Copies of this chain bind each other. A is one copy, B any other.
Amino acid sequence: MTGRSELRIKLAANAQEAQPVRHALGAFLSAIGIEGVRREDILTAAGEALVNAIEHAYDGRPADTDEIEIFARQEDGTGLVIDVSDRGRFIELAERPGRGLGLRIARAIAQTVSIDTENGTTVRMIFTT
């Protein structure tokens, strides 16, 4: 019985998976006392990172299981940290009209959004609480 509250879910790169994972994250946030607008915003930001991994990481290749992981945990002094990781390849953004909204939304909500593109993509979002 050591450790902090945390949620880790492995999912396939499948559009149908985003909603139940958001719901699980939402109920987790409520259980650890994060409610209201803050909760809704965190779900929005995490939802964007999830959708990116589902949509871009494997870019058309068929979906397998465990291609994506979301890992949320409460860290003392930092707040809530959420990593969304995949084993795909980050696609550098050539500006396209109507695209680029997802990361913009995540950046507007999280205190920091950092993207690590070694060995797949990990988007780390920190939400100070």
Contacts and interface: CB of A to CB of B under 8 A. Distances in A.
Number of copies: 2
Contacts of A11: 31
Interface residues of A, number: 29
Contact of A8 (B5, B26, B122): B5
Contacts of A101: none
B24 A28 contact: yes
A8 B6 contact: yes
User: Which of A17, A30, A87 lies at the interface centre, i.e. has the most chain B CB atoms within 10 A of its CB?
Assistant: A30
Interface of A: 1, 3-11, 17, 20-21, 23-24, 26-28, 30-32, 69, 71, 85-87, 119-120, 122
